[in-house]
Each structure stands twice: as structure tokens, then as C-alpha cells.
Structure 1
Amino acid sequence: MTFNYLNLVGNAELIKQLNYAMIYRLIVQQAPVSRIQLAEISQLAPASITKITRQLLKSNLIKEVDAQQSTGGRPAVSIQAKFDYYQTIAVQLSRSRVTIELYDLGAKNLVTEIYPLTTFTQQLAEEYLIALIEQFIEQNSKKIKHLVAISVVLPGLVDSVRGIIRYTPHIPVKAWPLAEALHHKFNISIFIGNDIQSLALAESYFGSTQDVDDSILIRVHRGVGSGIIINQQLLTNHNQTVGEVGHIQVDALGERCHCGNFGCLENRVINKAIEHRAKQMIEQGYPTKLSLGNCNIANICKYANQGDELAIKLVKDAGENLGRAVAMMVNIFNPQSIVLAGELTKSPEILLHAVNSALNAQSLEELRKNLTIHCSSLNDRSAIGAFALVQQALFNGSLLMTLLEDKES
């Protein structure tokens, strides 16, 4: 049998990356924490902890703080993450606008800028985005000390491993290698991802699902998308399409969807569908404070909260249909938490009651015993999902090792 030294070296490098990532994540999540505590929690040798923390200190990723209370002998020095040395740019590319935000490594939003987005070709969109990022960097040069990554999220089918956009609803693309283009221009780490999947990851890192292993985020806007977190990891497959819930059939006698099916969830709960139904019912004479000129989703939620019967019915109907899809996902994935996002959550009490009603009727009791359902604590129109991809790269060690290598070179 031939001994493969390349495999041995590769495995050693992977183990090193995973160990560094584990210690960094423990410091972020457990701080302040001592080296002794890190050794106990991680089961790594004290010498390994000393080596890892020395490198993290040298790279300005962590810092030593006041000594912890000691029970005798030499006091243990505490360690915590150092967030303000590095910065990242996070971008959300939606159908109508580009949101660019500056973050430190602690997910602190330092700057937000919003720019309009009109219909573009792939090439024009790429040139426009690069120009906006260049302008953003120039305008915020005093706050950008050490820029280490740019992350972009957008709706559609995104190959996040290769950094290629396969499909997005607002720009005609053909295997758009956006990550390559951005890396060529800015020469730093680039991350590309789906906006809803990234938002689920952000909820797990910074939002209401930090304390659970398994969660699902469902966002309702122009479409319906979801992100699934299993064992604190974003669930993906070879095609990055896990969690397509918008075309679950919730009404067999419903209207035909553009996908060819009948009664899809998307046709019942997206903003446009609810607004269209509101206009139909107003024209039929339903008593309401809403009018044909003001029945947008924001006003529908506003009047529902004020007790308007038609508005309540619209939110309730959407919630019940959403609950049918939630029940299917609970039966399949058995998550600990379901998080809802989008404008419809501006009427949380009515929405959640309706979702729970449908869920209780159509899911297994054992699977929903300890399940919580709530509305997102994050701003789903910000670029926090894009920053979550950076956090993920720090926690899995890929970006972390890049920063360590840069300091050594």
C-alpha cells in the first residue's frame, strides 16, 4: 500500500482550521473565557490552546481583558473577541434597490447606504455594483481600517460554493461569476448567497434562534422563501435549492400559478396577492377603513391591528395558508423554532394565531410539543444576511485562516 503524504498534509491543515475555528467561536460565544476553560470545553491540550490564542492575538482577532477571580495561585487571564479591528461590506441586491452596509466582526452596523436598482443586463448590473462599492469605500474611508471581505446576497438560485448566480428574478443572467469579478476588482474574500437562506443564518447567529440547533425561517414578500438550519448549519444541497416552499399546494381548488400548479402558497400569501384580494372585496362592498387607493400590505396590517374586520380576515386567511405549509415543514424537519419574516408580520398577533391554528390541525402533536413560532427580530430588508455569510466563514475557519495567513506573510 502506498502512503499518500499529500492526504496527510491536507488532513492536518483541515484539522488545524477546524481547531482554530472552534476556539474562535467559543471565545465569541463564551467570552470572557480563560485559556483553562477553553481547554476544558474544547478538550484540546493546554499547549494547543496557548498556540491558537497566541496566533489569534497576533492577528487582532481576540484580546486579553481583566483577570478573572482566582481561587488561589496565579490569576487566569480572560479572553474575548476583538471586533473593531476588521471591517466587512455587506450587500443586499433586491429587485428594486441595492443596500450596502459596513459591519465590524461583531455584527455592528457602522454605515448603511441605499441605492436604486432598475432593470439591467448582467454586465451593466456588475459594473453598477462595482461602482457603488467603490464609491461606498471612498465615502467611508475613515471608518474602513482593515477591509477583509465583501458579501452579496440576492434572491434566486445562487451557487455559493463557486460564487456563481444561476438565476435571479430581476436580472437576466447566464452563470454570472459575480464572486470572481468582485475578487478581481477588490482582491479580498468574497461571499455570495441566497438572501432568504442567509437571513435564516443571520437569525441563528444574531436573532431569536441563537439558542436552538434546528430552525426554519420563512419570509413572505414578493415571493415566499425559506432557510433551514439543522444542527446550527445552513441546510443546502448540490443545487442550493433546499426550502422552496412557495409552490407547496395549499388549496387544490385555487388559482393556477405561473409554475403550472394550482393553489400554490405563493398565490395566497404574498403581498401582491393579499392586496389584490383586498381590492376585490372592497369592490364587492365589504365594510372597511381600507379604500382602493390605500390597500397596500402596510395599511392592511395597520387596520387589522386596529380591529378592521376585512383587514383581519385578509391577515387571518394568509396566516392559515402559511400555517398549512409550516405544518408540512414541521412534519418533515421537526424544528425547534419557526421564524416568520416580511411585511405581513406587522400584524403579529393575528398572523401567529392563524398560523398556529392551521399547524395544530395538520401536524403531528409530538413534533410540535416544544416548537416555538415567532416573528423575526431582524430587519429583513437590511444586509445582515450578507454579513452572516462572513460570520459563517469565520466560524468554519475558512476566512479565519486567511486572516491568520495574511498576518504571517
Structure 2
Amino acid sequence: MTGGQIGNVDLVKQLNSAAVYRLIDQQGPISRIQIAELSHLAPASVTKITRQLLEFGYIQEVAQQASTGGRRAISLKTQVTQFHTIAVRIGRDYLQLSLHDLSGAVLAQDESSIQYRDQGELVGQLFDKIALFKASNEARIQQLIAIGVILPGLVNPVQGEVEYMPNTKIDDLPLAKMLKEEFKVESFVGNDIRAMALAEHYFGATRDCNDSVMISVHRGTGSGIISGGQVFLGSNRNVGEIGHIQVDPLGEQCQCGNFGCLETIAANPAIVKGVKARLAQGYSSSLADEANIDIDTICEHALNGDALATQSIVRVGDQLGKAVAIVINLFNPEKIVIAGHITKAKEILFPAIQRNVVSQSLTAFHKDLPIVSSDLELQPTMGAFAIVKRAMLNGILLQKLMDSAQ
């Protein structure tokens, strides 16, 4: 057998093992017979794979299912509580960490501020924070199987390389490789918005559909597209830049160089800037009494009936709705998810989005289309855990763990 043939055999084994593990994880408790039927694998192959997964402790046998005649089948489900992951979200001036078991449950979390201008400063602080977090949670960690890191910018998720980050000097940073060398554990790196869209699909608002779009309104405006249950990526892995759709040709100049991009209107800094500018012009508002105006404050005042705050949220909804309509016409998703603190005023925001969606997208596409808020807004590191979970479900991490245990 040639090297290529051996490689193909190994790949088939990995894919088959992943298919079996995925079914047990997503539909367990499930019997071997049911696994064979759903995976279209031979019963003997399913028995061999499950025996191996049992030996390594990644699945367990549970109470027998009710008999339908003949010998009762034993059910299988995944083991989750003893396998742990550190999930990290890097922001522009903050770093959030959490410890998860394989079910996604958060066992510990921490947040701190960071300042970095280049990849050397970024990596140094990242490693220090992870090491400290790991040490402080040593008693909780039974078996650390992976580290997941998400960040803003352009990432090659296959190689785990960071190619670009806003306001940071980056030179093809092999972050996943460096993390693995430093902490001796498999590591994965991804774009924060795309990873959060995946997290919504695994654990949040889009668990019930395979085609969805998540739009994030934070310091910038971005989107993650789920197609066929997978994150949609272009050839250079950089898609979903909804924030740079032009919605106002006469608008302010964006950092990208264009004028009137959605991000100049529908991003937290732009919203706050607009409110402060109107207050300076003499607009009457209860916000004038606030010492610190941020997006949460604006939402609160809008919900309390303040006209300026309400108008600001509606303006965002109108422009966001135009971009959402374009996305709907392009991708015909089953669900749209809006993420960001601005959804605290969704009673005001969503009707404005909906009006524009109805007037500017195909009726067949927007009819009965749910537009909902994120389920994971208060769990910002779930995207980092989701990319580890994906590696487990597609067999990449699962195979590496079994190989290292042999």
C-alpha cells in the first residue's frame, strides 16, 4: 500500500470516528443500531469505533433503552465533565478567559485589560494571562484537552495563523503553534465574529437551523454566516464584512477609506458619538444629566421614552435593516441573529430593522423569517469554545487526542 493510500485510509477512519462521535454527542443517549442506521456505516464498523471511544473514555454506556423485542440495546453518550478547555476572547483592550467542560458549561471565568501594539506584546500578555488563569483553576481541571482563542481580524483557522488585526502590527503570527508549544496542548484560533456565529449554531439561537446569519454590533459591525451547518468562508477566509456596506453615500468617512459605511452609523462608538453631537447642538434629552454616556445608557433612556435616545436607536435600526435586507436577498437564511448591547432596546431596534427588511428584500425570503437577539451575549468566550468543539466533532481534535494517548 502506497503512502497516499495509507493517508486516505487514515482519513476515512478519522471521518468515520468523527461521524460516530458526533451522533453520540448530538443525539445521545443513542444505541449502536441507531448509530449504524443514521451514519450508514456497517454495524461492525460502529462496534469497532465505539469500542475504541469507550477505551479512551470519550463516551460511556448508560441505562438500557426500552426493549422493542429481542435483546435490549445499550445506549451511549459522550463523556464531558472530565475534559476541559480554556477559551479566550481577545478584544482591542481587554482579554476574557473561561474554563469549559465539553458540554460547554462555564466552570470559571476572568476578564482583564490589556494594551498591545504589536504581536510580541500581544503574545506575551496572552501567555501570561492564560498561565495565571490555568494555575488559579488547577483544582478544577481534570484533563485539559485544548485552548481556543478568538480575536478581531483576519485569521487562517486551518493553520491557526493570524494575518491581520486592527491597529496591531501582525506578520503572519502562527498563534496556534505557539500556544501548543507553550502549553503542550492542542490549540485553535479563529475570528471572533465567525466563531460566535458558530457558537450560536451549536449552543444558542440558531441550534434549530442550518443556514443563518449573525450580525454583531459592538465596536465595529460584522457578521458570521452559517451555511449547511458550517461557517461560510471565502478563499481567503475573510467574508461577512457587513459593516462596510455603504448605506449613506454622503455619510462620514470610514476607517476603510469609503464614505457612509454601515459601521459609521451602526457601531457603538458611532452611536455614542452621534448622541453626544446632538446634545452639544442643544437637543433636549434626559441623557444630558448622565456623566458617562455609553450604549447601555442610551438603550436605557430609549426604553424610558427619551426622544433623542429613541431616535438614535431607530436610526441604527433603519440603516442596519438596509444591510440585513441585502444579506437576506443574497443568502436566504432561515434566521437572522443580532448580537450586541444595543439589543437591550430590541423593542425599538427590531421593528425598525423589520420595516426595512420588508420593503427591501424579497417577500419569499423575508416572510416568516425570525430576527432574534443573541442567546450568548453574556457568554463572550463561547465562540472560542465553539472552535474547539468543532475540532472535536469533525474528528481533528478527537484523532489527535487518541493518537497522543496510544
TM-score exceeds 0.5 = yes
- State the 1:170 CA deviation: 4.2
Residues 100 and 106, structure 2, Cα contact 8 Å, conserved in 1: yes
Structure 2 residue aligned with 1:359: 357
Match among 126, 137, 142 for residue 139 of structure 2? 142
1:320 paired residue among 312, 318, 321: 318
What's the secondary structure of 1:319's corresponding residue? helix
Asked whether the equivalents of residues 220 and 267 of structure 2 are also in contact (C-alpha less than 8 Å), the reply is yes
Match among 321, 328, 331 for residue 330 of structure 1? 328
> How far 1:22 sits from its partner (Å)?
1.2
Q: Distance in 1 between matches of 2:250 and 2:118?
A: 38
Is there any run of 5+ residues in structure 2 with no aligned partner, and where? Answer: none
Runs of 4 or more above 3 Å deviation = none
3-state secondary structure, aligned to 1:115: strand
Tell me how far apart the structure 2 counterparts of residues 21 and 78 of structure 1 sit (CA, whole Å).
18
Deviation, 1:380, is: 5.7
* Mapping for residues 41-52 of structure 1, pairs under 5 Å: 41-52=38-49
| Post-superposition offset of 1:258 | 2.5
Report the 3-state secondary structure (helix = DSSP H, G, I; strand = E; otherwise coil) of the residue aligned with 1:80: strand
Map of 1:309 onto structure 2: 307
Q: Report matched runs for 1:82-101 at 5 Å.
A: 82-101=79-98
Distance 2:51 2:379 in 1: 39
Deviation of 1:282 after TM superposition, in Å, equals 1.9
- Counterpart in the other structure of 1:372: 370
Percent of aligned pairs sharing the same letter: 45
| Structure 1 counterpart of 2:282, from 280, 285, 307 | 285
Q: Secondary structure at the match of 1:219?
A: strand
Q: 1:339 aligns with which of 334, 337, 340?
A: 337
TM-score with structure 1 length normalisation? 0.96
In structure 2, which of residues 65, 68, 82 is the aligned counterpart of residue 68 of structure 1? 65
How do 1:260-275 and structure 2 match up within 5 A?
260-275=257-272
Q: 2:114 maps to what in 1?
A: 117
Q: In 2 relative to 1, CA 178–259 (structure 1 residues): closer, same or farther, beyond 3 Å?
A: same
Q: Does the 8 A contact of 1:94 with 1:154 survive in 2?
A: yes
Q: Distance in 2 between matches of 1:380 and 1:254?
A: 32
- Structure 1, unpaired ranges of 5+: none
Assess if the C-alpha contact under 8 Å between 2:114 and 2:125 holds in 1: no
Q: What CA distance in whole angstroms lies between the structure 2 residues aligned with 1:173 and 1:8?
A: 39
Displacement after TM superposition at 1:352 (Å): 0.9
Aligned partners of 1:282 and 1:140: how far apart in 2? 47
Pair 1:173–1:349, CA change in 2 (3 A): same
Name the CA distance, whole Å, in 1 between partners of 2:292 and 2:91: 24
AA partner of residue 282 (structure 2): G
Are 2:6 and 1:12 equivalent residues in the alignment? no
Question: Which amino acid in the other structure matches residue 89 of structure 1?
Answer: I
Q: Using the alignment, how far apart are the partners of 1:22 and 1:341 within structure 2? A: 31
Task: Tell me how far apart the structure 2 counterparts of residues 178 and 37 of structure 1 sit (CA, whole Å).
Answer: 40
Instruction: Say which SS state the counterpart of residue 286 (structure 2) adopts.
Output: coil
**SS of residue matched to 1:138:** helix
Residue 135 of structure 1 and its aligned partner are, at CA, apart by 1.5
1:381 Cα deviation from its structure 2 partner: 5.8
Q: 2:183 aligns with which of 174, 182, 186?
A: 186
Alignment size in residue pairs: 405
Distance in 1, Cα, partners of 2:73 & 2:199? 33
Query: How high is the TM-score relative to the length of structure 2?
Result: 0.96
In structure 1, the residue matched to 2:232 is 235
Deviation at 1:154, TM superposition (A): 0.5
* Structure-2 change in CA distance of 1:170 and 1:384 (3 Å): farther
CA contact (8 A) 2:211 2:335 kept: yes
Q: Does residue 207 of structure 1 match 2:208? A: no
SS for the counterpart of 1:377 is coil
Partner of 1:290, secondary structure, is helix
Q: In structure 2, the residue corresponding to 1:101 is in which secondary structure?
A: strand
Bigger mean CA offset, 263-272 vs 301-310: 301-310
Q: Within 1, Cα distance between the matches of 2:36 and 2:136?
A: 44
CA RMSD of aligned residues (A): 1.4
2:214 is aligned with 1:217 = yes
Match of 1:300? 298
| Stretch of structure 1 that moved more, 373-382 or 109-118 | 373-382
8 Å CA contact retained: 2:340, 2:377: no
- For residues 262 and 227 of structure 2, what CA distance do their matches in structure 1 show? 24
CA positional deviation for 1:5: 2.6
Structure 1, 71-80 or 185-194: larger mean CA deviation: 71-80
Q: CA deviation at 1:294?
A: 3.6
